[in-house]
Structures are given as structure tokens and as C-alpha cells.
Amino acid sequence: MPLPHPTASESARLDERVVLITGASGGLGRVLARACASRGATVVLHGRVVRKLEALYDEIVSEGGAEPTILPLDLAAANAEDFANVASALQSQHGRIDAIVHTAVILGSLGPIEHQAFEAWLSTLRVDLLAPFGLTRALFPLLRSAPDASVTFTLDTRGQEPKAYWGAYAVAKAGLSALLAILADEWENHLNLRVNGVVPGPMRSPLRAQTHPGDDVTRLPPPEAFVPLYLHLLCGQAKSESGGVIDGRTWLSGT
């Protein structure tokens, strides 16, 4: 099945699906949470700051979206038991998980390796790599029992092509690419399970403001531009496409 064109209609429906979005109070995560809820999905809103999640909850409900679930969890401090508790809570509350969209991220420190602290690396790797692994592993039984389940990792060009000074962030994103490939291979015979990655490229986001503070973000695509692509990965994708990594800039160009 071909990928949707960037200008394609966003008519996809997600009724009765339960979608977990990590980093839901961030730029891309927030947009995706609202889009999924407006299409009928019950969205599990993950984030670290409760008041931000509550504000997003109120916004979704006021817009007529399906009532979401709030999941406050600090990924920098979470451990295997925490992820197991998340799985147990979602099983009890919803009885299913149809999709995970990983957008939660921290930048960590940029600079020469010799100037980067071990503790900073540990926090970055926990949020950007170990948490996606831990959540996906803990929720695997729920995903496996869903009729059509997907996991989407949000990657970065710095993970695909590491450069100087990007440290733990680039290493974590490269690790996510490896994790994606491993899962695609392991899930090859699970016809109801799909896993993919999206490399959005530069966009108007809080992370971009951190990495390029002098950049003119108005020339960059907004997070909303990627909604049709993520919706396709959530519910319109063929099993044969599982394991693919989609370059957002190429996709936006229509090629």
C-alpha cells in the first residue's frame, strides 16, 4: 500500500482503538494526541508534568474527542517495575492496546564527549532508548492480542548519520533504529503486528528551539504536516511495510 500524499485527506478513523502516545504534551505528541482523539481513538496521554496532561485532556474533551487517559511517568527515573505497572493498569482499564507512538525525547547535553557527564548520558539513554524498549516490551502481550497493532518510533537524522557533539542523543536514536529492525524481524510471523520509524527532519518544535536557537522556525513544517503519515502507520498500513523507516522530508516533497 503506498504512503499517503502529504495533502491527502485525513479521513482515517480510529474508533475503538486505544493509542498510547509518549511525550503527549510536547510538540509532535500533542498534535498526534488531538488528531487521534478527534478520529475516535481513546488516547493514553503520557507525560511527565501532570498539569500539562490535564490541560491537554480538557482540550481534547472540549473538542468532542474521545475521553483520554492520563499517564504521568518520569521516564528518566522509570524502571522495569514501573513499565509493568503501566501494562497492568492499561489492561485493567482498557483491556487492550492497539498502538504505541513514541515521541517522548530529551536532548541531553551537546558537546565533545570528554566534556559530557556520565549521569547526563544515563538520563538521556533512559528516556530516548530504554523507555521505548521497556514500554514496548511490557505492552507486547496487549499488542499481540490486538487484531491490528502498530508501534511507531520517532527517529532523527542524527541517529541515522551521527555527527560530532551530539553525544547520547545520537547514540539513543541510532539504538532505536536497531531496536526497530530487531522487532520487525522478530514480529515477521505476527501478521497483526507492525513496527516502523519516522525521521521527521527539522520542524517547528521545542526540541528544534533547543538545538538551533537562532533558527527561523517559520520556514520549517509544523508538526501537523506529519499527521497523515502517522495516521497511515496507525491504521492504514500493510504488513509488508513493517520495518520501514520513512524520511519525513522526502515524504513531504511528495516523492
User: In angstroms, rounded to a whole number, what is the distance separating the alpha carbons of residues 254 and 6?
Assistant: 7
Q: Given the residues 57, 165, 169, 230, select the one marked as catalytic.
A: 169
Going from N- to C-terminal start, the domains of the chain cover 18-252
Answer whether residue 4 shows pLDDT above 90.
no
Is residue 169 annotated as a catalytic residue, yes or no? yes
Answer whether residue 215 shows pLDDT above 60.
yes
User: In angstroms, rounded to a whole number, what is the distance separating the alpha carbons of residues 179 and 163?
Assistant: 20
218-246: pLDDT as tens digits: 677 889 999 999 999 998 789 999 999 99
CA angle 79, 83, 89 (to 5 degrees): 145
76-127: pLDDT as tens digits: 999 999 999 999 999 999 999 999 999 999 998 889 999 999 999 999 999 9
- Coil, strand, or helix at residue 22? strand
Q: Return left, alpha or beta for 148; rule: phi > 0 is left, psi -120 to 50 is alpha, else beta.
A: beta
How does DSSP assign 87-145, residue by residue?
Answer: HHHHHHHTS---EEEE--------S-GGGS-HHHHHHHHIIIIIHHHHHHHHHHHHHHH
9-27: pLDDT as tens digits: 456 789 999 999 999 998 8
Answer whether residue 1 shows pLDDT above 50.
no
Residue reference for cell 545520537: 170
17-63: pLDDT as tens digits: 999 999 999 889 999 999 999 999 999 999 999 999 999 999 999 99
Note the pLDDT of residue 9. 46
What end-to-end distance do the CA atoms of the chain give, in Å? 15
Residue 207's H or E segment, with its range, is helix 206-211
pTM score: 0.92
User: In angstroms, rounded to a whole number, what is the distance separating the alpha carbons of residues 53 and 50?
Assistant: 5
CATH 3.40.50.720 fits 18-252, yes or no: yes
Residue reference for cell 491527502: 8
Q: Give the residues across from 150 on adjacent strands.
A: 99, 194
